[in-house]
Amino acid sequence: MKYLMLIPLVLVTSCASHPPKPVFLNLSPPPAVAPPDAVRYPEVVRAYHLGRYVDPDHPGEMHEQHTVYRVEAQSTWNLHPDPASSGSPSAVCAPTNAAYSPVPVNDAVAAEVNRQRQITQTMLAEADRLTGALQQLGQAVSQTRSIAKENQQLRQQLNTALKRLDSLQAEIRTLQAEPAPTNAPPDLE
């Protein structure tokens, strides 16, 4: 009876000791033309090399050997999580715009930020000074324009006065050239 219990054990070990040898058939299609993308899987295009053959639809036509490209799978979204992400929603929805990211803090960055602040303050002070100078220049230009108008008016008044003076002098000369009338009685000789 003891021997009967050993028979199944021997059969089981004998089956396990001789594993079946796998049969490898090289029936796999050729590799895809384009590599897969991280966000989307691209369409799978396979290239098949065909030799000469007679067209089954048209027995009077023979095709020479050539390569046929076939789209075997359309592009799809990659729904597998990225191994680099920790799986937290904040890592998936991280802002991509640098304006929304916190500023990295180290000594070089802090020094550059301080230098930029000083430059900005200097620029603002220079802009204020320039604005003041432009306002003064604008006031000087308006004063110059008003002075130019006054000078024009004075020139016109001077020209009018000179013409009047010339006419008065001409009148005086004509009066001096005429003999002066006398009130003496005429000579009776």
Report the length, in residues, of the chain. Answer: 189
In this prediction the pTM is 0.31
Residue 144 Cα to chain centre, angstroms? 46
**pLDDT, tens digit (0-9, with 9 covering 90-100), for 170-187:** 999 888 887 656 666 666
**pLDDT, tens digit (0-9, with 9 covering 90-100), for 116-162:** 999 999 999 999 999 999 999 999 999 999 999 999 999 999 999 99
**pLDDT value at position 82?**
64
Could you identify the residue written with the tokens 């308006």? 142
Higher pLDDT, 109 or 143: 143
Distance, in Å, from the CA atom of 29 to the CA atom of 69, rounded to the nearest integer, reads 12
Specify the DSSP class assigned to residue 174. H
Average pLDDT over residues 95-101: 68
**pLDDT value at position 27?**
57
Checking DSSP bridges between strand 62-63 and strand 53-54, what pairing results, if any? antiparallel
CB 47 within 8 A of CB 31: no
Q: What is the DSSP string of 101-134?
A: SPPP--HHHHHHHHHHHHHHHHHHHHHHHHHHHH
- Is the torsion defined by CA of 54, 56, 61, 67 positive or negative? negative
Could you identify the residue written with the tokens 């003076």? 165
